């Protein structure tokens, strides 16, 4: 018979061998996993300023999108607070500074093809000479002659280019939180003459963080409209800025070289807009030194600027915001 002690010793050795094998099978992977985890954590901690950033990573922040969203939310909050106050019969809450709406009207009539150096008086003399030689411009010979004369304008020297440069200068100096509504005149369409004549096109509405697409939209404008519907454009522009928060001034800036040609009265339209919106003002950038457009500014306590003075317009708007008129609203409380 086998010795019991001998058998017990053999069993003990087998158990220890099995235990060693189990330790190797389980321990080596765990040690490798621990080494990998420790190395990963050390690498992550080396890349951040604090352990919290390593354990609680935050997604990258798009500051531009957040600022734009914040501006729109604040604007909407002001509108809702004012509407709520109006329904309760209380004073409306004042909007924050620089939460201004600007409607920019860019004249895209055919006369914007004339040279920027040609003023309104010279244009009238030129048109009279064309009609004397080729007949009325409302008829084909006279119209063709006028188009041929316009085509002689050197590239980059058209009134349209001057208007574009002036509009871009306005944008560069607008207040930070200005929202811009861009309007132009409708392009003439020979297949839809009645619909395209004397029409006004809302190109788009742009926040401060959308100045690049706004600039791109300005660069696409062409002087291809069949008329100068100033009165209609003022009506549409005044309606666009009417939706701003209570107590906020509204501005319309008209960049034009001519007078109304669509059987309407732009001066009356300006007076009507001002009566309906006492915080509205219209400023004119006179491309061709045409004094007939000055009534738009006079009717609304605006100003008239010469071509190329776009930066002055932006500074004027900023200054007007620093000294706002009396407002029938209560100051917004500061958050504690």
Q: What is the pLDDT of residue 326?
A: 47
Q: What is the pLDDT of residue 59?
A: 56
Question: Is 216 a member of any domain?
Answer: yes
CB atoms within 10 A of CB 82: 21
> Do residue 181 and residue 315 come from a single domain?
yes
> Do residue 266 and residue 148 come from a single domain?
no
Question: Is 38 a member of any domain?
Answer: no
CB 254 within 8 A of CB 236: no
Question: Is 308 a member of any domain?
Answer: yes
| Mean pLDDT value across residues 219-239 | 93
pLDDT band at 305 (very low <50, low <70, confident <90, very high): confident
> Do residue 165 and residue 242 come from a single domain?
yes
Q: What is the pLDDT of residues 131-173, one digit of tens each?
A: 999 999 888 898 899 999 999 998 889 999 999 988 888 888 8
> Do residue 131 and residue 169 come from a single domain?
no
> Do residue 191 and residue 265 come from a single domain?
yes
Question: Smallest Cα–Cα separation from 108: which of 163, 156, 180, 152?
Answer: 163
| Mean pLDDT value across residues 243-269 | 87
Domain count within the chain = 3
Q: Please indicate, yes or no, whether the overall pTM of this predicted structure exceeds 0.85.
A: no
> Do residue 127 and residue 258 come from a single domain?
no
| Mean pLDDT value across residues 25-32 | 71
What are the distances in angstroms from CA 113 to CA 117, 173, 301? 11, 27, 30
> Do residue 143 and residue 233 come from a single domain?
no
> Do residue 145 and residue 202 come from a single domain?
no
Which CATH number characterizes residue 283's domain? Answer: 3.40.50.410
> Do residue 135 and residue 252 come from a single domain?
no
User: What angle (nearest 5°) sits at the alpha carbon of residue 255, between those of residues 211 and 161?
Assistant: 75
Question: Smallest Cα–Cα separation from 251: which of 97, 138, 104, 68?
Answer: 104
In the block, residue with structure tokens 């990573």: 57
Question: Could you tell me the residue range of the domain that residue 127 belongs to?
Answer: 119-155
Please count the CA atoms within 13 angstroms of the CA of 266 that sit on its side-chain side.
26
> Do residue 201 and residue 318 come from a single domain?
yes
Q: What is the pLDDT of residues 168-211, one digit of tens each?
A: 888 888 777 788 999 999 987 666 656 567 899 999 999 876 78
Question: Is 49 a member of any domain?
Answer: no
Question: Is 269 a member of any domain?
Answer: yes
Q: What is the pLDDT of residue 52?
A: 60
Evaluate if residue 64 carries a pLDDT over 70. no
> Do residue 134 and residue 203 come from a single domain?
no
Question: Is 19 a member of any domain?
Answer: no
Question: Is 56 a member of any domain?
Answer: no
> Do residue 193 and residue 147 come from a single domain?
no
Best mean pLDDT range from 44-48, 95-99, 281-285 = 281-285
CB atoms within 10 A of CB 243: 12
Question: Is 296 a member of any domain?
Answer: yes
């Amino acid at each position: 018979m086998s010795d019991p002690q001998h058998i017990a010793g053999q069993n003990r050795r087998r158990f220890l061998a099995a235990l060693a094998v189990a330790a190797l099978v389980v321990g080596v992977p765990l040690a490798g996993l621990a080494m990998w985890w420790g190395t990963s954590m050390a690498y992550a901690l080396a890349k951040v300023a604090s352990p919290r950033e390593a354990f609680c990573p935050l997604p990258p922040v798009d500051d531009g999108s957040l600022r734009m969203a914040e501006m729109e939310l604040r604007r909407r909050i002001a509108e809702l607070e004012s509407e709520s106050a109006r329904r309760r019969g209380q004073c409306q809450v004042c909007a924050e500074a620089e939460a201004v709406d600007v409607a920019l009207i860019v004249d895209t009539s055919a006369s914007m093809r004339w040279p920027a150096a040609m003023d309104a008086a010279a244009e009238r003399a030129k048109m009279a000479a064309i009609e004397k030689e080729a007949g009325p411009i409302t008829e084909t010979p006279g119209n063709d002659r006028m188009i041929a004369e316009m085509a002689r304008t050197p590239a980059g020297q058209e009134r349209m280019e001057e208007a574009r440069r002036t509009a871009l200068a306005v944008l560069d100096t607008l207040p930070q939180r200005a929202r811009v509504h861009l309007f132009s005149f409708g392009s003439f369409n020979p297949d839809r003459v009645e619909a395209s004549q004397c029409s006004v096109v809302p190109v788009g509405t742009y926040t401060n963080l959308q100045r690049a697409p706004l600039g791109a939209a300005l660069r696409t404008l062409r002087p291809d409209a069949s008329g100068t519907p100033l009165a209609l454009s003022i009506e549409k522009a005044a309606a666009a800025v009417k939706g701003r928060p209570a107590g906020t001034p509204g501005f319309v800036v008209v960049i034009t070289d001519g007078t109304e040609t669509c059987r309407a009265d732009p001066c009356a339209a300006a007076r009507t807009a001002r009566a309906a919106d006492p915080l509205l003002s219209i400023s004119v950038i006179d491309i061709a030194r045409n004094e007939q457009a000055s009534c738009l500014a006079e009717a609304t306590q605006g100003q008239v600027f010469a071509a190329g003075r776009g930066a002055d317009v932006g500074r004027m708007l900023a200054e007007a915001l620093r000294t706002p008129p009396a407002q029938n609203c209560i100051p917004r409380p500061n958050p504690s």
